[in-house]
Structure 1
Amino acid sequence: MLIAAAGYIINDYFDIKIDQVNHPEKVVLGKVIPRKTAIIAHTLINVVAIALAGSVALAARHPEWLALQLTCTALLWVYSTTYKRRYMSGNIIVSALTAFTVVALFVYEPRLHLAAGAPLTRSRAALSSLPVWILAVYAYFAFMLTWVREIVKDMEDIEGDAVDGCVTMPIKRGLGYAAWFASALAALAIIPLVIWGVVLLQYEYTMLGTYILALLALPLAVWIGYLWRGPAGPAHYHAASRMLKVIMLLGISSLLIYKFQ
């Protein structure tokens, strides 16, 4: 969480020019908070985060684990300074880092290592002993939806990005191509959700299976239709981005149902 917070700070620091065009009313750095303070806060927050990660790694006798957090911190820095302005690579970095919050559980939870090697049988007990497959679906969902949302954000911020010399997908290929690409990614996210929702119903995880189909797969399908309705302007894409936030929140909330069942 701290590493993500520091990443947001440094991203805002390097995006002042873009934000002054796209969201001038929301710009805080340079107005309310001095830019120097932002850099200091970014550094301190990262130091605390690395210290916490280091203490866990040492306690577990796996100092190499610290490389995971150091890599995330470095990627967020180069994303904000360089890759954010390059075609597609910045979107993929942010998406991968989001999915990594789930994938990290495979490193830190030894029981998942045992579960990953267990045979898959058609029984409810077998499914409950293999959360590794559940987490794989969550990681995939996080990656795909974050990638979609990053593209939609680029569509919303096309004017400011162009002023700053960014080469985002909407700028290089146009809004129409970006909309088709985002829709295709959303469809690829729906397919495993539907499959896994049906599988969960077969394993008698009725509540979770119904939740995934009704509150994740269906809303995402409706979102694709919404993306193509309305004027192709910042307000429309901002609303589409907010809808994706809600769907992502619903996806995270489904973990509570999985825990309950």
Structure 2
Amino acid sequence: MNFKDLARILRISNLLIIIATQLLCWFFLIRPLSNFTATPLFLDFPHALLLSIATALIAGAGYIINDYFDVKIDAINRPNKSLIGKDINPRTAILFHTCCNVIGLAICAYLAYQLQIKSVLLLPVACTILLWFYSTHFKRQFIIGNVIVSLLTALSILILLTYEPAAWPLIKQPFLENAQGQIRLNPTWILMTYSGFAFLLNWIREIIKDLEDFKGDAEDGCITMPIKIGIQKTVWFVQGLLVLSIIALAFAVYELFLKSWIIPGIYMLAALILPLVYTLVKIHTSVRQEHFAKYSKMLKFIMIFGILTLVIFYFYQLAL
């Protein structure tokens, strides 16, 4: 096994996205909380970086254990991409899975110790357990597997609130007043909105991946949505979720245009809404595995573009 194989089984690009997403959310949404509370923030940059690395390591362990239990399925769906049992020894995979989990949880435990609130460690421990049982059991069940992965995606953002006690008293308030007496939308509400969209878009993507993996999942006895209700009805369900996403984003763009935030509105229209509309239209007639693979990859990029709206909004507001 070489470094390239290790990078592939860990999904290094996905882990870098997790780290970047958490750091962007910390910089643009958690850090500004100091303007609304007299309580010192725990998550400075070193702590935020450690938390993002820990989250990425736990996610990486999840990828490894998922591949470990998916050897039979991947041999059918992705015969040229399967690594465990070919380029990577199964025992080596389990060893790396264990190391990633231990290091990730150790970092979370260190942060909990620094914070002097041991209970915050419950969330990363729960996520680690969920990732294991997802791979061994829940992945093969109707709907629940997709929901668990999507929930874990949302929690990779919400964990920032868990490790920032200064934010806890502010969560109930949609608007906050800063030291200058200005009323601003609560950054924690924005963070929760982003995590909600992460859940929804990832749920769509997971169902599309089930459409892509239909053959291998059926051979392994999985009861995914396409197997349970059929490909056509699953596509309709995906389209329903896409319509819901498009309506919510269209409302946000409408509000931006009303406030004369033209550039952010155009960005959201071009980078988020139009690709979702394209997916909505094209997926209706898709039947081939490579078609669903393309839409799955497109959803991944849409999620990245969605996080980048934080940067667009921040610098546009500075320019006003």
Task: State TM-score, norm by structure 1.
Answer: 0.92
- Which residue among 176, 186, 193 is the counterpart of 1:137? 193
On the 8 A contact 2:174/2:189 being kept in 1, the answer is: no
Q: CA 1:147/1:80 → structure 2, altered by over 3 Å: closer, same or farther?
A: same
CA–CA distance in structure 2, aligned partners of residues 199 and 113 of structure 1 = 28
Counting only pairs closer than 5 Å after superposition, residues 181-196 of structure 1 correspond to structure 2 as 181-196=237-252
Moved more, 6-15 or 133-142: 133-142
Q: CA 1:89/1:117 → structure 2, altered by over 3 Å: closer, same or farther?
A: closer
Asked whether 1:60 is paired with 2:126, we answer no
CA–CA distance in structure 2, aligned partners of residues 239 and 214 of structure 1 = 18
CA–CA distance in structure 2, aligned partners of residues 248 and 135 of structure 1 = 14
Higher relative contact order (CA 8 A, sep 6+): 2
What is residue 205 of structure 2 aligned with on the other side? 149
Moved more, 135-144 or 164-173: 135-144
CA–CA distance in structure 2, aligned partners of residues 48 and 157 of structure 1 = 32
What is residue 221 of structure 2 aligned with on the other side? 165
For 1:239, give the aligned amino acid.
K
Asked whether 1:45 is paired with 2:100, we answer yes
Asked whether 1:116 is paired with 2:171, we answer yes
Moved more, 250-259 or 73-82: 250-259
What is residue 207 of structure 1 aligned with on the other side? 263
Deviation at 1:249, TM superposition (A): 1.5
CA–CA distance in structure 2, aligned partners of residues 136 and 60 of structure 1 = 22
What is residue 174 of structure 1 aligned with on the other side? 230
Counting only pairs closer than 5 Å after superposition, residues 98-109 of structure 1 correspond to structure 2 as 98-109=153-164
Q: Percent identity?
A: 45
Deviation at 1:205, TM superposition (A): 4.2
On the 8 A contact 1:18/1:163 being kept in 2, the answer is: yes
For 2:111, give the aligned amino acid.
V
What is residue 224 of structure 1 aligned with on the other side? 280
CA–CA distance in structure 2, aligned partners of residues 217 and 107 of structure 1 = 31
What is residue 81 of structure 2 aligned with on the other side? 26
What is residue 183 of structure 2 aligned with on the other side? 126
For structure 1, which runs of at least 5 residues remain unmatched after alignment? none
Q: What secondary structure is seen at the aligned counterpart in 2 of 1:28?
A: coil
Q: CA 1:195/1:136 → structure 2, altered by over 3 Å: closer, same or farther?
A: farther
Q: What secondary structure is seen at the aligned counterpart in 2 of 1:25?
A: coil
User: What CA RMSD, in Å, does the superposition of the two structures yield over aligned residues?
Assistant: 1.8
On the 8 A contact 1:2/1:45 being kept in 2, the answer is: yes
CA–CA distance in structure 2, aligned partners of residues 199 and 108 of structure 1 = 32
Deviation at 1:133, TM superposition (A): 2.6
Deviation at 1:119, TM superposition (A): 5.6
Q: CA 1:167/1:133 → structure 2, altered by over 3 Å: closer, same or farther?
A: same
Q: How many residues align?
A: 256
CA–CA distance in structure 2, aligned partners of residues 95 and 258 of structure 1 = 25
CA–CA distance in structure 2, aligned partners of residues 210 and 126 of structure 1 = 26
CA–CA distance in structure 1, aligned partners of residues 91 and 228 of structure 2 = 34
Deviation at 1:207, TM superposition (A): 3.3
CA–CA distance in structure 1, aligned partners of residues 293 and 312 of structure 2 = 29
CA–CA distance in structure 2, aligned partners of residues 50 and 104 of structure 1 = 13
For structure 2, which runs of at least 5 residues remain unmatched after alignment? 1-55, 177-181
CA–CA distance in structure 2, aligned partners of residues 224 and 132 of structure 1 = 31
On the 8 A contact 1:112/1:131 being kept in 2, the answer is: no
On the 8 A contact 2:174/2:186 being kept in 1, the answer is: no
Deviations along 1:32-70, one digit per CA (max 9) or x if unpaired, are 110000000000100000010011111111110001000
